[in-house]
Amino acid sequence: MNLDNLARIDLNLLVMLQVLLEERSVTRAASRLHLSQSALSKSLNRLRDTLGDPLFIRTAHGLKPTAHAALLGQQLPDMLQGLYQLTQPPSFNPASSRRQFSFAMVESAYETLIPYFIGPLLNNAPNLRLDSYLWTEKSLSSLQKGQIDFGITGRDINPQSDLIIDRLPEGIAHQTLFTDHQVCLVRQGHPMLPAIRNHQWDLDIYLEMSHVQVRCEGNEWWALDYFLAKSGQRRHLSTTVPDFYGAASVCAHSDLIFTLPSSFAAHARKLYALEELPLPFDFHSLAYVLLWHERNDDEPGHKWIRETICKRVAQAVNQPEDALSASGSA
């Protein structure tokens, strides 16, 4: 596109051309445009010079468009409609919108969060297209570049991760959806259960056990592992797997213990014969957050989706909506 050449064209002349194509009369076109016939004729001559084509031929029945003008007449309505839309304030009508939005979400969110908002989104905006992808170590960069619209992930999964709220990349805004805590799962009939039920459940026993771990953002260690490392302690990770359901299956069919957010533990127990145990030491909560780029703060479509997600999640976890207040941009 040569913007220098485009800048020399008076776009009002294109509006005039469209009216002339519709009316095929200088008199009627001038009346519609609230111009004198002389002024319209001068504008037409300017457009002829710019385009290098006579555009119209006078006949006994009015103006007849040239082949070039007829071709322009096929393209002008859509072009002018697009220009008109550019001049309108931003708006979003969920019922009629056919826009496409993309999400990157941690795997646990597909089970613990998406059921709360996917129905309300698509029921109110049935023609939307919502594409989702698994959250990876590249997702924050994709948000910055505009390659995805939203992210849903856990805060402080890894203390060295950029997801610590003070380290979010420039331009990334966030809103906390809800907070969770870590629990443990073992299979029913696990040999440690009698001792655990006999109040012998503590950090030492936890560290003696073998663990199954989910890799998050490509990392084997979670925030929990960095927390333990500060005091010189370390879990024995017998196996790492790429997803939560895989870890729950390994846990159900072995003597390994699985540490995970409590919200997902409830779903895992519906699938497998697992026992839930509290984490035997104090550890900070996990926050699930909605992420987006601040350039979309006031964009109506993005704003409607954000508000719908936050409202539905707040209702589902029985928290006041004002408790899920926006935390702003990093």
Q: What tens digit of pLDDT does each residue of 140-154 get? A: 889 988 899 999 988
Q: Does the structure show a pLDDT above 80 at 134?
A: yes
Q: Return the closest-CA partner of residue 106 out of 245, 211, 240.
A: 245
User: What is the pLDDT averaged over residues 48-66?
Assistant: 92
Strand partners, 212: 239, 258
pLDDT for 323 equals: 40
The tens digit of pLDDT for each residue in 268-318 reads: 999 999 999 999 999 888 888 999 999 999 899 999 999 999 999 998 886
Strand partners, 237: 211
CATH class of this structure's domain 3-86? mainly alpha
Tokens of 310: 């936050």
pLDDT for 11 equals: 82
pLDDT for 234 equals: 94
User: What is the pLDDT averaged over residues 195-214?
Assistant: 91
Common-topology check for domains 100-180+286-329 and 182-278 = yes
The tens digit of pLDDT for each residue in 274-288 reads: 999 999 999 888 888
b/e burial code for range 168-206 (CB count within 10 A of at least 16 → b): beeebbbbbbbbbebbbbbbeebebeeebeeeebeeeeb
Residue 4 burial by Cβ neighbours in a 10 Å radius (0-12, 13-18, 19+): exposed
Mean pLDDT of the chain: 87
pLDDT band at 25 (very low <50, low <70, confident <90, very high): very high
User: What is the pLDDT averaged over residues 184-201?
Assistant: 90
- Name the residue with higher pLDDT: 4 or 15: 15
pLDDT for 149 equals: 95
d(CA 44, CA 49): 9
Amino acid at 329: S
Tell me how far the alpha carbon of residue 311 is from its chain's centroid. Answer: 16
Sign of CA dihedral 90, 95, 99, 104: positive
pLDDT for 320 equals: 46
CB atoms within 10 A of CB 3: 6
d(CA 114, CA 294): 23
In degrees, rounded to 5, the angle at the alpha carbon of residue 184 between the alpha carbons of residues 178 and 189 is 145
CB 157 within 8 A of CB 216: yes
The CATH T-level fold of domain 100-180+286-329 is D-Maltodextrin-Binding Protein; domain 2 (3.40.190)
| Angle subtended by helix axes 262-271 and 244-252, to nearest 10 | 60
User: What is the pLDDT averaged over residues 215-243?
Assistant: 87
- Name the residue with higher pLDDT: 325 or 95: 95
Q: Where are the domains of the chain?
A: 3-86, 100-180+286-329, 182-278
What stretches of 156-217 adopt beta strand conformation (E)?
172-180, 182-187, 210-214
Q: What is the pTM of this model?
A: 0.67
Q: Which residue has the tokens 């023609």?
A: 127
Strand partners, 316: none
CB atoms within 10 A of CB 122: 14
b/e burial code for range 83-115 (CB count within 10 A of at least 16 → b): eeeeeeeeeeebeebeeebbbbbbbbbbbbbbe
Q: Does the structure show a pLDDT above 80 at 163?
A: no
Does domain 182-278 fall into CATH 3.40.190.10? yes
pLDDT band at 3 (very low <50, low <70, confident <90, very high): low
What stretches of 231-297 adopt beta strand conformation (E)?
236-241, 257-261, 274-278, 286-293
Tell me how far the alpha carbon of residue 292 is from its chain's centroid. Answer: 7
- Name the residue with higher pLDDT: 274 or 134: 274
Q: Does the structure show a pLDDT above 60 at 250?
A: yes
CB 142 within 8 A of CB 185: no
Q: Does the structure show a pLDDT above 70 at 326?
A: no
For the chain, the first-to-last Cα distance in angstroms comes to 36
pLDDT for 321 equals: 44
